[in-house]
Amino acid sequence: MTEQPIRVLLAKVGLDGHDRGLRVIARILRDGGCEVIYGGLRQTPAMIAAAVLQEDVDVVGLSMHNGAHLTLAPDVIAALGAVGLDTPVIVGGIIPDHDLEAMGDAGVAAILGPGASNDDVLAAVTRAAGDRGQAGAR
């Protein structure tokens, strides 16, 4: 039986047009053995859910820099649920400390802030994908 890489969809939700960090994360994950589907900018929660369903994604990574994380991340989780998925969602970006608990309560699997190392990113994705062992293997 051949091990398959963890499949991660990376996207920006809403009108935030800053994607440099998302591209860096895509490279970290790819170099760590994950298969990355780049969803791109200005995605809606429904668009992300459709892509996750179509691409058989293991983990969703959202980059948030627009201050709408308390609205958009839960909306993505709800959109995934609406199509029968419980795919874990990781949020990266500028998330104030006082919002961390609310993000966890909303179902966000992990939050990675500025300064997260490559190892932090890979570990969070591996844990979210079900702790299937080493990063890149499922």
- Domain residues for the domain of 42 are 7-128
Domains in the chain, number: 1
Cα(23)–Cα(126) distance, integer angstroms: 19
User: How many Cα atoms occupy the beta-carbon half-sphere of 30 within 13 Å?
Assistant: 11
CA gap 61, 10 in Å, rounded = 5
Q: What is the CATH number of the domain that holds 97?
A: 3.40.50.280
Whether 43 is in a domain gets the answer yes
pLDDT of residue 2: 55
Local confidence pLDDT in tens for the 138 residues of the chain: 457 899 999 998 877 777 778 889 999 999 999 999 998 888 899 999 999 999 999 999 998 877 677 778 999 999 999 999 999 999 998 888 898 999 999 999 999 988 899 999 999 999 999 843 334 433
Residue 137 in any domain: the answer is no
**Residue 6: per-residue pLDDT:** 96
Inside any domain, residue 31: yes
Q: What is the pLDDT of residue 106?
A: 92
Alpha helix positions (H), 5-115: 20-31, 45-55, 69-82, 100-105
Residue 81 lies in a domain: yes
- For position 132, what pLDDT does the model report? 36
Q: Quick check: is 1 in a domain?
A: no
- Specify if 134 maps to a domain: no
Instruction: Give pLDDT, residue 130.
Output: 86
Give the pTM. Answer: 0.88
Residues 20 and 39: their CA atoms lie apart, in Å, by 14
